Amino acid sequence: MAVSFAAWLATIAGCAHDESIEVRGTVTLAGKPVANAAVLFVADSGGRPAVGTTDAQGAYRLQLTSGNSPPAGRYLVAVTAIDAPDAPSGEFESATEEVMAEISRPRRRPRWRTPPRYADPQTSGLDFEVNAETDNVADFDLKP
């Protein structure tokens, strides 16, 4: 009985462990850092996607975990940076006229800070080969 419990415990512990690899790098657009961009890595072979966000210098870090497939291998990459449209402030003293004026005020549309073609990993043209044995630095210089 003790042997079978130990075997069961080892099996459960083994299943709970995912291999993990860190990828880091920078995202630039025409040589300038892109802040607050989402960087998405999607495994060519399936498995879990991973996402990171760039800082003010365009640097990002993300963790690739095994899930159903090993984290090493080829990844398709997408990069998206959008300025959100204006939103109503939600701070109204009273009058319905004030509320209606705020609601009907023209809003700006979302503005892409990175070219939209980079938003889809299937069409971005960006990819990276992740290696379990090396430091994985993936820098992307996007073109306007």
CB-based burial label for 48 (10 Å; 0-12, 13-18, 19+): middle
Q: How many CB atoms lie within 10 A of CB 121?
A: 19
- What are the residue ranges spanned by the domains of the chain? 19-142
pLDDT tens by residue, 103-115: 677 767 788 999 9
Residues in Cβ contact with 66 at an 8 Å cutoff, skipping those fewer than 6 apart: 18, 19, 20, 47, 48
The sign of the torsion formed by the CA atoms of 66, 68, 74, 77 equals: negative
Structural contact between residues 118 and 144, judged by C-beta atoms closer than 8 angstroms: no
> How would CATH label the architecture of 19-142?
Sandwich (2.60)
pLDDT tens by residue, 68-120: 556 899 999 999 999 876 555 555 455 566 666 766 777 677 889 999 999 99
